[in-house]
Amino acid sequence: MHHMDVKVLPAALRGVVRARSSKSQAHRALICAALADQPTRIVCEDESEDIGATVVCLSALGAIIARKGDSYIVHPILRNLFGSATLPCGESGSTFRFLLPVVGAMGREAEFQMKGRLQERPLSPLREELIAHGCEVSTHGSVPFRISGQLTPGLYSMSATVSSQFISGLLLALPLLQNTSYLYINESTELSPYIDLTLAMLETFGINIKYDGTLFTIPGGQTYKTPGFLHIESDWSGAAVWLCAGALSTDGVVCTGLDPQSRQGDRAITNILTKFGAKVNVNETEASVSGGNLRGTAVDAQNIPDLVPILAVIGAFAEGVTTISNAERLRFKESNRLSAATDFLHTLGADIVETEDGLCIHGGAPLSGGKIFSFKDHRIAMAASIAATMCAEPVMISGAEAVAKSYPDFYKDFAKLGGSIQIIWE
């Protein structure tokens, strides 16, 4: 991948943009389809590096996945395959954390290859649970990271405060085992919307799991049954970036193809922008946002970690104080997102400090411009690009190629909405 710098000149965004396919839903659909009894056609208009990683890893495990037009045709993994598989996860946390228990449940041996900060991202208590149930697993931080042995059914336990990806990974894996397993969730806070997405996808593939508020009961010996065809819904996380740009613009931005009934947690963006004082309209197929007199507000980021960088940008342009709380886990993303967001906004002239569990922003100061770094994080690069539209001077974003992790066409859409950019490849 070449190094890409993007120079953004001040120009508010306006117009209509189509929301992209949900990365969260696509990961889950591809994995379920690879474990199914028959081929599945998954309509997914957009590709990204993270989804590409899941496709490559499932192929290495023996699935045959072809891209045809706007769809993935997935021929499932044959059950009696053996031998070690090499799984290049890139920087995709979902790919690694979902497939680790799945490989264990298949009784396969595999080594996971990782890039960027993925090997440093937390893996406890998932790693310990896999070891307690029959697998041999590398020490945390090993590259490549190896797993072997056969995962066994039984009682698993997780805290609801750890990454939802650990719980999702086990929910995908445990139905494959011979006997019933139980997954106990202690400190029962409400489960993250991401777990909802996993349960919905498992249901689509005929997997039966019961949850009573603290305990998942996962019968063994289940077969993933293909629905034959499914359509990946649009992504509220990617759309949120454009809707926030709309909140900074008089003319506003319309994002089409969004389902207001989605189970994705990030659809909360419309309520949050309303709280900030933006003009928000949502109907069955699209959301539109335009600017108002934005004023600071308090945001609980527990279920919307991916929205924090772009909400910090809104906070910088809103009068008064914006606090973002319950965001500790952002320190372990593609970058330490709390310090990365603080860093780039501070460089542009915002009054922002990192708190114990989030950010505090005194908004309303005019932002100047300058040179900032993406920290190789797609969400930081996108948020910084939106901030730049409102700066007095040009902003140079170094490492902007990071957007390809979730949104390869980001700058194409940015320009379509009237963004003024110059791209510099090195």
Structure confidence at residue 31 as a pLDDT band (50, 70, 90): very high
Which pLDDT value is given to residue 160? 82
Counting Cα atoms < 13 Å in the Cβ hemisphere of 165 gives 20
Which residue in 46, 50, 235, 306 is the catalytic one?
306
pLDDT in tens, 329-344: 888 888 899 999 999 9
**Which one-letter amino acid corresponds to residue 217?**
T
- What average pLDDT does the segment 96-119 reach? 96
pLDDT above 60 for 368: yes
| Contact indicator for 49, 288 with CB cutoff of 8 Å | no
pLDDT of residue 1: 55
- Peptide bond preceding 125: is omega within 30 degrees of 0, i.e. cis? yes
pLDDT of residue 189: 67
Quick check: helix, strand or coil at residue 227? coil
- Gap between the Cα atoms of 377 and 47, Å rounded: 18
Find out whether 260 and 277 touch, Cβ atoms under 8 Å.
Answer: no
Q: Do 4-20+234-425 and 23-219 fold alike per CATH? A: yes
pLDDT for the residue numbered 113: 97
Q: Which helix (H) or strand (E) holds 136?
A: strand 135-137
Q: How far is it, in rounded angstroms, from Cα 361 to Cα 197?
A: 32
Task: Band the pLDDT of 426: cuts 50, 70, 90.
Answer: confident
- Hey, what long-range contacts does 117-121 have (CB within 8 A, 24 or more apart)? 117/91, 117/332, 117/333, 117/334, 117/335, 118/89, 118/90, 118/91, 118/92, 118/93, 119/143, 119/145, 120/332, 121/93, 121/332, 121/333
Half-sphere exposure of residue 297: CA atoms within 13 angstroms, side-chain side: 17
- Section 102-126 average pLDDT: 95
User: In whole angstroms, what is the distance from residue 202 CA to residue 9 CA?
Assistant: 45
Q: Above 60 in pLDDT, residue 317?
A: yes
Residue 359 near residue 353 (C-beta atoms within 8 A): yes
Predicted TM-score (pTM) of the model is 0.95
Q: Which homologous superfamily does the CATH classification assign to the domain defined by 4-20+234-425?
A: Enolpyruvate transferase domain (3.65.10.10)
Residue 306 among the catalytic residues: yes
- Angle made by CA atoms 174, 177, 180, in degrees to the nearest 5: 75
- Which of 338, 351, 348, 336 shows the shortest CA–CA distance to 396? 348
pLDDT digits (tens, 9 = 90+) for 57-89: 999 999 999 999 999 999 999 877 778 999 999
324 within 8 A of 308, measured Cβ to Cβ = yes
Q: Where in the chain are the domains? A: 4-20+234-425, 23-219
Task: Give me the residue label for tokens 């494959």.
Answer: 176
Distance CA 14, CA 5 (A): 23
Mapped onto helix, strand or coil, the DSSP state of residue 176 is helix
- CB contact set of 412 (below 8 Å; sequence gap of 6+): none
Distance of alpha carbon 293 from alpha carbon 318, whole angstroms = 8
Indicate the average pLDDT of the chain.
96
Which class would CATH give 23-219? Answer: alpha beta
The predicted structure's pLDDT at residue 78: 87
| CB distance 120 to 142 below 8 Å | no
Give me the amino acid identity at 51: I
Nearest to 272 by CA among 262, 264, 280: 280
CB atoms within 10 A of CB 406: 23
